Amino acid sequence: MADIYIRGGWFITVDKNRRIIRDGAIAIEGNRIVAVGKREKLDREYKEYSDIVIDASRKIVMPGLIDLHVHMAQAMIRGMAQYVKLIPWLKDYVWPLQGNYTKEDGKTSALLCMVEMLKSGTTTFLEAGLSGRYGMEGIAEALEQIGMRGVLGRHVMDTPGYALEKSIIHSGLIETKEYGMKEVLHMYQKWHGKHGRIFVWFAPRTPGAVTIETYREIVAKAKELKIGITMHLAEAKEDLGYFKKEFRMRPVEFCNYIGMLGSNVVLIHVVWVTDEEIKLLAKTGTHVAHNPSCNMKLGSGLTPVAKMLREGVNVGLGCDGGPSNDNYDMVEEMKIAALGQALINGDPKAITAEQVIEMATINGAKALGLDREIGSIEVGKKADIIIIDYWKPHLIPMLNPVTHLVYAAQGQDVETVIIDGKIVMENRKILTVSEEKILEKAEKRGHEVVERTGIKPIIHWPVE
Ligand SMILES: [Zn+2]
């Protein structure tokens, strides 16, 4: 007897032994997985006696994907910052656009982003930069309603710069330290741990926007509350000059100096690092969120993931944001991660498809401190599961579910999504919110934000 029984198909468990079960089955009771095994065996106990039986023959069943780096407020400005490197990308496009958001825009963008993530198999995410302007309360409510698992990282800042002196954050996004800290604490008290699905972290802005004293205060407070910290680091080469000039340090050395390395820290990008810095990340158990689409699109360079994994750094995968990717499809991101490492290492086996799947599942769970609960299909873990339909021309013949998933599959192949034991998407229909209403709202509000800012989309051909 189970609440949900899924039978047939290829089960990629990512469990301790990394078992792949052909013609497998799993049973779910409440929000937990209670049985995993061969269909033949589990059928006897569950087939006739479960409330919901899902036929997964011709499907791949796997743990839900974990997007380790997301900006939900950027979904609604997708396509609005093209052909520029990081600093003008921020200064001339993303900051002015986001600096013109209202709280309702922030919530709408978050809903749009979450619908997109769900429809491409993401069940858990780490948001890396909410500010008061986006209305964090409304975003937490939207997360509660849609039924995903999410960690909401909130910005803290106390000076208005970014790296190079001339890059001043848009006035619409500048906040005081007191306001940022107060909201993190308020959100923590109200939402952290709610339903075991919603969590609140610190997401300090990068050096130039945060003083050393404030970084140290954040580190101490995070330790006291037992919560995580996520921060962008060494994304663009220009960052190196800034760290050298201001602090006479390399970026990871700087993090060490302010006490911000450790198992509760997820550093984002970490492209421009030396072998010594990689060793320091491994030694301190600091996690890295790799975002290959963003790194490639902005011409930033590419994180040395193969080397990091070899050295024992825990690396997860992220889609980053609407104007830097420009989508939130983790299935696509897995392919780009694999291709990128083969290219920069000049070696097609620099990173395996199995390692990429680990990055998108169990490594992400570990980075969030949730690997005892999610990230794999194992008895006792929470039921965050996706079912992928492979009866499609681009996935047949199903000779290798592992490499097919990384190199051939698409986010749109995800058919059903279960989070915390609840079916949130069934046969591509989201059951918790109205997708149509969210699309209509985001289409309208997205155009309004762009009009308010006066920034035009770049299209090189004449539009009549
Ligand atoms: Zn980012």
Give one DSSP letter per residue of 82-102, joined into a string: -S--HHHIIIIIIHHHHTT--
Is position 221 within any domain? yes
Nearest to 240 by CA among 280, 279, 269: 269
Question: Is pLDDT of 164 > 90?
Answer: no
Is position 458 within any domain? no
- Looking at the structure, tell me whether residues 181 and 325 fall in a common domain: yes
CATH number of domain containing 14: 2.30.40.10
Q: What is the pLDDT of residues 280-339, one digit of tens each?
A: 999 999 999 999 999 999 999 999 999 999 999 999 999 999 999 999 999 999 999 999
- Looking at the structure, tell me whether residues 144 and 259 fall in a common domain: yes
Question: Is pLDDT of 424 > 80?
Answer: yes
Q: What is the pLDDT of residues 355-375, one digit of tens each?
A: 999 999 999 999 999 999 999
C-alpha distances in angstroms, 157 versus 29, 77, 100, 203, 364? 44, 23, 18, 9, 26
Q: What is the mean pLDDT of the chain?
A: 96
CA–CA separation, 445 vs 450, rounded Å? 9
- Give the pLDDT confidence score for residue 312 in this predicted structure: 98
- Looking at the structure, tell me whether residues 352 and 232 fall in a common domain: yes
- Looking at the structure, tell me whether residues 209 and 280 fall in a common domain: yes
Cα of 413 vs centre of ligand 1, distance in Å, is 26
Is position 261 within any domain? yes
Q: How many CB atoms lie within 10 A of CB 244?
A: 12
pLDDT more than 90, % of the chain? 95
Q: Which protein residues have their CB within 5 A of the ion that is ligand 1? A: 320
- Give the pLDDT confidence score for residue 165 in this predicted structure: 60
Cα of 231 vs centre of ligand 1, distance in Å, is 8
pLDDT band at 162 (very low <50, low <70, confident <90, very high): confident
Is position 452 within any domain? no
Is position 38 within any domain? yes
User: Which residues face 61 on adjacent strands?
Assistant: 11, 387
Q: Which structure tokens are listed for 133? A: 């302007």
- Looking at the structure, tell me whether residues 411 and 268 fall in a common domain: no
- Looking at the structure, tell me whether residues 385 and 322 fall in a common domain: no
pLDDT band at 171 (very low <50, low <70, confident <90, very high): confident
Is position 264 within any domain? yes
Q: What is the pLDDT of residues 124-134, one digit of tens each?
A: 999 999 999 99
Q: Are 369 and 228 in contact (CB under 8 A)?
A: yes
Q: What is the pLDDT of residues 246-282, one digit of tens each?
A: 999 999 999 999 999 999 999 999 999 999 999 999 9
- Looking at the structure, tell me whether residues 229 and 102 fall in a common domain: yes
- Looking at the structure, tell me whether residues 216 and 231 fall in a common domain: yes
- Looking at the structure, tell me whether residues 162 and 55 fall in a common domain: no
Is position 457 within any domain? no
Cα of 396 vs centre of ligand 1, distance in Å, is 35
Cα of 9 vs centre of ligand 1, distance in Å, is 36
Q: How many CB atoms lie within 10 A of CB 207?
A: 25
- Looking at the structure, tell me whether residues 248 and 382 fall in a common domain: no
- Displacement of CA 390 from its chain's centroid (Å): 24
- Give the pLDDT confidence score for residue 163 in this predicted structure: 67
Cα of 77 vs centre of ligand 1, distance in Å, is 14
pTM (predicted TM-score): 0.98
Q: Are 252 and 284 in contact (CB under 8 A)?
A: no
Cα of 50 vs centre of ligand 1, distance in Å, is 43
- Give the pLDDT confidence score for residue 244 in this predicted structure: 95
Q: What is the pLDDT of residues 52-103, one digit of tens each?
A: 999 999 999 999 999 999 999 999 999 999 999 998 999 999 999 999 999 9
Sign of CA dihedral 115, 95, 254, 225: negative
Cα of 206 vs centre of ligand 1, distance in Å, is 11
54 is in which domain, residue-wise?
A: 2-63+376-430
- Looking at the structure, tell me whether residues 91 and 119 fall in a common domain: yes
Q: Are 407 and 353 in contact (CB under 8 A)?
A: yes
Question: Is pLDDT of 168 > 90?
Answer: no
The last residue of one of the domains, among 338, 367, 396, is 367
pLDDT band at 1 (very low <50, low <70, confident <90, very high): confident
If one counts the domains in the chain, the total is 2
Choose the weakest-confidence range: 33-37, 167-171, 194-198. 167-171
Question: Is pLDDT of 167 > 70?
Answer: no
Cα of 434 vs centre of ligand 1, distance in Å, is 28
CATH number of domain containing 149: 3.20.20.140
Cα of 27 vs centre of ligand 1, distance in Å, is 37
Is position 453 within any domain? no
- Looking at the structure, tell me whether residues 343 and 420 fall in a common domain: no
Question: Is pLDDT of 166 > 80?
Answer: no
